[in-house]
């Protein structure tokens, strides 16, 4: 009997609590609805006054910093390739220091990629000369320290015994202060950012760290962004081509109209897309270019073998084309025209069947 009474008591208690919760939910819901109704009038917004302590001044050093950060965060996050991303990143970092440089981790050493703010005068190297510099990780330098500790260093120069190697290779005067931090790609340190300051200029540690974080995230997301952009461009290419074909069909029909006696027959015809090998070849090869634009431009610029660089991609695309059409000539013409810029020799090694 005691068990039955206890069960009844617990049921009543739970029911009361449930009713209380439902009542609270109704009250909150009604309150939200009332607030939304009040917000219908735009005049409510114009009457609202922001407290003075929360107002952002129109001018001042803080506003300038925010504007600079905003400008370079947008440039970094919208970069179409790694070159633009890192170039914009270094330009942004250099707004908050005297000189900035990026060193990439390659096996057991750090190799200079590019500098910003190096004058090339008075014994100091220039921005492009950073590429000629490397530092072994066996030396106890500031670079090795930030990689080993996976954290930044801000302070006086030469905190490590072999830091003289850094400043002797940079040439010119020694900085008053340095700030270095590791640069992560997919969670692993893959580079070191070096910055310094002299002649009383401050280093914007917080701002540089913000740009580094945005740069790391943007670099991680860049392949996905490039694929999305390529898909968007390919879709635009489809639409533009369809518009051109529509204009041609409107101006001059591809086939004469059916005779009157055939009107009752099934007039269903395959679409232009399904029947046009030239168009399919253009779209497939255009996709190859959009996905690999930076690599293709670099290979052609340096006169290297484009087919060797994109062999798997080209052969896979060839099979995709052959799934629809057996005549390879449209596909191979597009390889030369679109991919190799008319230079067939850039595709040496590819077995042309029709050209």
Is the pLDDT at 276 greater than 70, yes or no?
A: yes
Q: Are 58 and 77 in contact (CB under 8 A)?
A: no
pLDDT tier for residue 28 given thresholds of 50, 70 and 90? low
My answer on whether 67 and 173 are in the same domain is yes
- Given this model, what pLDDT does residue 187 score? 85
Q: Are 295 and 309 in contact (CB under 8 A)?
A: yes
My answer on whether 73 and 215 are in the same domain is yes
My answer on whether 93 and 162 are in the same domain is yes
Which residues is 182 bridged to in the sheet? 192
The percentage of residues in the chain with a pLDDT greater than 70, rounded to a whole number, is 72
pLDDT tier for residue 42 given thresholds of 50, 70 and 90? very low
| Structure token pair of residue 214 | 């945005």
Question: Which is it for the CA torsion 163, 164, 170, 174, positive or negative?
Answer: positive
Burial of 267 (0-12, 13-18, 19+ CB in 10 A): exposed
Q: Are 336 and 307 in contact (CB under 8 A)?
A: no
What is the spatial distance between Cα 165 and Cα 135, in angstroms, rounded to a whole number? 8
In 157-228, the DSSP E strands lie at 177-185, 188-197
Any idea of the CA torsion for 278, 306, 350, 223, to the nearest 10 degrees?
-70
- Given this model, what pLDDT does residue 287 score? 83
- Given this model, what pLDDT does residue 111 score? 93
- Assess if residue 16 is contained within a domain: no
DSSP 279-294: HHHHHHHHHHHHHTHH
- Assess if residue 182 is contained within a domain: yes
324, 200, 74, 313: which is closest to 335 by C-alpha? 313
- Assess if residue 294 is contained within a domain: yes
Question: Degrees (nearest 5) of the Cα angle 199, 201, 206?
Answer: 155
For residue 159, what are the domain limits? Answer: 61-221
My answer on whether 201 and 280 are in the same domain is no
- Assess if residue 309 is contained within a domain: yes
pTM of the predicted model, to two decimals? 0.53
What is the spatial distance between Cα 271 and Cα 25, in angstroms, rounded to a whole number? 56
| Structure token pair of residue 256 | 């004469």
pLDDT tier for residue 216 given thresholds of 50, 70 and 90? very high
My answer on whether 65 and 214 are in the same domain is yes
My answer on whether 184 and 303 are in the same domain is no
- Assess if residue 232 is contained within a domain: no
Overall average pLDDT of the 236-261 stretch: 43
| Structure token pair of residue 171 | 């040439």
In the chain, the DSSP E strands lie at 99-106, 109-116, 134-136, 153-155, 177-185, 188-197
Q: Are 117 and 99 in contact (CB under 8 A)?
A: yes
158, 166, 157, 113: which is closest to 135 by C-alpha? 166
What's the CATH code of the domain at 205? 3.30.450.40
My answer on whether 210 and 294 are in the same domain is no
Pairing mode, if any, of strands 153-155 and 134-136?
A: unpaired
Q: Are 101 and 194 in contact (CB under 8 A)?
A: yes
Question: What are the start-end ranges of the H helices in 56-136?
Answer: 61-77, 82-93
């Amino acid at each position: 009997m005691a068990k039955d009474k206890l069960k009844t008591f617990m049921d009543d208690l739970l029911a009361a609590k449930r009713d209380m919760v439902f009542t609270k939910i109704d009250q909150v819901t009604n309150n939200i609805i009332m607030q939304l109704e009040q917000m219908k009038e735009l005049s409510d917004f114009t009457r609202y006054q922001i407290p003075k302590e929360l107002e952002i001044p129109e001018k001042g050093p803080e506003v300038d910093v925010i504007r600079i950060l905003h400008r370079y965060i947008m440039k970094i996050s919208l970069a179409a390739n790694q070159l633009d991303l890192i170039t914009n990143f270094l330009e942004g970092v250099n707004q908050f220091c005297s000189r900035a440089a990026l060193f990439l981790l390659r096996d057991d050493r750090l190799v200079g990629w590019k500098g910003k703010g190096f004058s090339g005068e008075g014994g100091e190297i220039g921005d492009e000369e950073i590429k000629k510099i490397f530092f072994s990780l066996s030396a106890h330098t500031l670079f090795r320290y930030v990689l080993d500790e996976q954290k930044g260093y801000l302070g006086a120069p030469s905190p490590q015994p072999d830091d003289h190697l850094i400043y002797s290779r940079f040439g010119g005067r020694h900085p008053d202060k340095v700030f270095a931090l590791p640069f992560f790609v997919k969670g692993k340190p893959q580079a070191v950012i070096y910055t310094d300051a002299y002649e009383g200029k401050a280093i914007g540690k917080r701002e540089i760290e913000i740009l580094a974080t945005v740069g790391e995230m943007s670099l991680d997301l860049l392949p996905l962004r490039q694929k999305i952009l390529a898909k968007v461009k390919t879709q635009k290419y489809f639409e533009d081509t369809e518009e051109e074909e529509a204009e041609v069909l409107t101006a001059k029909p591809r086939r004469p109209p059916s005779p009157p006696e055939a009107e009752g027959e099934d007039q269903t015809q395959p679409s232009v897309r399904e029947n046009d090998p030239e168009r399919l070849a253009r779209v497939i090869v255009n996709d190859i270019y959009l996905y690999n634009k930076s690599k293709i431009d670099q290979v052609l610029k340096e006169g290297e073998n484009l087919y060797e660089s994109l062999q798997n991609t080209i052969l896979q695309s060839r099979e995709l084309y052959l799934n629809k059409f057996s005549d390879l000539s449209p596909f191979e013409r597009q390889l030369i025209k679109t991919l190799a810029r008319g230079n067939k020799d850039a595709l040496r090694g590819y077995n042309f069947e029709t050209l």
